[in-house]
Structure 1
Amino acid sequence: MSEAASLPANTTLTKRDLFYTSHDGLTLYAADYGPIDSDTVILCMHGLTRNHKDFEPMIEGLGLKARFISVDVRGRGKSDRDPNGTTYQPPFYAQDMATLMAHLNLDKVILIGTSMGGLMAMLMAKAFPEKIRGIVMNDVGPEVNPAGLKRIAGYAGGNEIFDSWGDAAAAIGKTQAGVYPDYGADDWMAFARRTCVEQADGKIVFDYDPVIVKGMGSTTPGWRVNFAMWRVFAAMKSIPLLIIRGEWSDILAKKTANRMLRRHKNSALLTVPNRGHTPFLDEPHSLDAIRDFIRSLGSA
């Protein structure tokens, strides 16, 4: 096929469980959707405190006859937690993605990375650019706004325990209201169901290891870090890039997004209205841009 075709209307995507072993012996998980023999394989990588379920609304909304592999990064969801908590850092996450690709014998993939997942995509493009057909970076860049990092550090890594799903949804709505101002009660409940898990005792907790926040590093990256990340970004110049930014993002500044656009000659920028950090990628603007971008890449 020359491009990713559309699925028939009202098609229910098949979801398959994938488990693989990391270089240091952890059992890691990914969800595998769509036709397994598709020429178009899209690897979806979530943000710091999220998991593979974040991408299910996007996958359904795109309606493409493509294979989507959405991961639980180590320490999240169904993936093992690091018993020492020392490997919760993007270089280790990127190494896990290379292991997953080798496990599945994937020669080329399209990357969609949200926030932390976008940083992973940058590192992967630096390490093995020949395996990357294109990249969608969702609300992140080589330079991260310290204000946004401080905000995320303020709520990530907590040990909140909720008595009910309603309590969990209300708490999430309180912290994320500025990101998704048009969300209602049903949206926050769906958000909670994707982000949290019910324990054996019926209590609701966030579905990640609280230790992950230690891998964030400084919330005020110095010039050396920024310089190094711009060097990594420069190495992506041969790979088509779609940059997505929330209109009110406190992580990806407007000037940084525009600088990325100027420096990468094969890139495009979408600003999603009425969104902070991060767009959920199920917005009509996001779906249209991602669908067009994937189709522009043609077959593998």
Structure 2
Amino acid sequence: MANFISRFITATDGLQLHVRDYAPVSDAAARLPVVCLPGLSRNSRDFHPFASRLCEDAASPRRVISIDYRGRGRSSRDPDPTHYNAGVECADVLAVCDALGIARAIFVGTSRGGLILHVMAALQPDRIAAAVLNDIGPEIEAEGLRDIRDYLARRAVFDDTDAAADHLEAVHGPTFPALARQDWLDMADAIYVEESGRLVSDHDPALVAPLLTMDFTQPLPTLWPQYALLAQKPLLVVRGEYSRLFSEKTLARMKAQGPNVETTIAKGQGHAPLLHHPDLFERVKGFLDGR
């Protein structure tokens, strides 16, 4: 039986957004909720093991909200693909929070989700009680972004979950030696959806268009001014040991510039680490439990 409720919320432009609401039946209302923001092409299913453990924790259960951005998962696709950007998606996250009565929360942002949190820190800093940035910061590496572009542009199709898991392990396995077979199967379930009897990526293909037109010979834009605002909050920054998107140099600079910034390395993982992995979950939960 699912331990969440699917809710559909209307964005400011009328588009329908889907969220998973993991709301424990205990006295978790006294604790700050956790709002989970996935990566660029990912969806709310990415956080299911993580959200389930937080929601069902006997000692300190929390309400957890996991969001499908527009064009991902069960949220509607946008007829205007230029709306697939961090600014619009931040507005969607704020609309979800307003609709669910969440004035303040701890936000967990993986990759794209962390970039959205940089935008939120500039627009509505009081909404953020604390944050976890999962393998992302105000500066990203071009080689890692090219990897994402090339992977998404292939738009692979599979006959079944085993085949999808095989593909994921073949592509990402070298940077995720810590993962077991079940992790790859779970990842395949989170990423792909059945369509006409085949498994396809559960996102609008138009998401890839901005990456295909990027000029990687030019420096990528950075978000250090926005990070300065975000770093005023209690902040845990996770870096995958083998990440090609988020460098050790950037992590060190973030730590140096933020008195409230804690950091940790996800051993045996690349971009982006699985937060529910045994080697990482307790570290993240310990940070959450302090708030």
Report the Cα distance in structure 2 between the residues aligned to 1:250 and 1:89, rounded to whole angstroms.
Answer: 22
How far apart, CA to CA, are the structure 2 residues paired with 1:184 and 1:131?
A: 37
| In structure 2, C-alpha distance between the alignment counterparts of 1:190 and 1:294, rounded to whole Å | 24
- Shifted more, 46-55 versus 158-167: the winner is 158-167
1:157-196 matches, within 5 Å, as 157-196=153-192
Answering whether residue 134 of structure 2 is matched by residue 126 of structure 1, we say: no
For structure 1, the residue ranges without an aligned partner over 5 or more in a row are: 1-11
Provide the secondary structure at the position in 2 that maps to 1:79.
Answer: coil
Bigger RCO (CA 8 Å, 6+ sep): 1
1:220-274 Cα deviation digits (max 9, x unpaired):
4855822xx1011111232110000011111110010010001011010001111
Structure 1 position 211 matched with structure 2 position 206: yes
Matches of 2:49 and 2:96 in 1, distance apart? Answer: 23
Q: Answer whether contact 1:261 1:269 (CA < 8 A) is retained.
A: yes
- Change in Cα spacing, 1:180 to 1:212, as seen in structure 2 (3 Å) is same
1:138 aligns with 2:134: yes
Aligned length: 283
Identity of aligned residues (%): 32
The answer for the alignment partner of 2:37 in structure 1 is 45
Q: Aligned partners of 2:259 and 2:96: how far apart in 1?
A: 30
Q: How does 1:202-281 map to 2 (within 5 A)?
A: 202-216=197-211, 218=214, 220=216, 225-226=221-222, 229-281=223-275
Over aligned residue pairs, what C-alpha RMSD do you find? Answer: 1.9
Distance 1:219 1:103, change over 3 A: farther
Unaligned runs of 5+ residues in structure 2 are: none
Q: Matched residues in 2 for 1:247 and 1:221: separation?
A: 26
Q: Which SS does the other structure have where 2:174 is aligned?
A: coil
Letter in 2 for 1:34: A
Q: Contact 2:243–2:270 (CA<8 Å) still a contact in 1?
A: yes
Q: Is the 8 A contact 1:89 1:215 kept in 2?
A: no
Measured after TM superposition, the shift of residue 195 of structure 1 is 0.8
Give the TM-score normalised by structure 1. Answer: 0.89
CA contact (8 A) 1:146 1:219 kept: no
The answer to whether the 8 Å contact 2:37/2:109 transfers is yes
Detail structure 1 runs of 4+ shifted over 6 Å in the superposition. none
Assess if the C-alpha contact under 8 Å between 1:249 and 1:278 holds in 2. yes
Q: Name the aligned partner's letter for residue 267 of structure 1.
A: V
Distance 2:283 2:155 in 1: 37
SS of 1:256's equivalent?
A: helix
The aligned counterpart of 2:21 is 32
**Of 125, 148, 164, the match for 2:144:** 148
8 Å contact 2:3–2:52 — kept in the other structure? no
- Counterparts in 2 of 1:40 and 1:209: CA distance versus 1, 3 Å: same
Contact kept? 2:140, 2:220, Cα under 8 Å: no
TM-score scaled by length of structure 2 = 0.91
The Cα offsets for residues 45-75 of structure 1, whole Å up to 9 and x where unpaired, read as 0001211111112123443410000001111
Q: Which moved further from structure 2: 164-173 or 201-210?
A: 164-173
Give the partner amino acid of 1:280. Answer: L
**In the alignment, does 2:13 pair up with 1:21?**
no
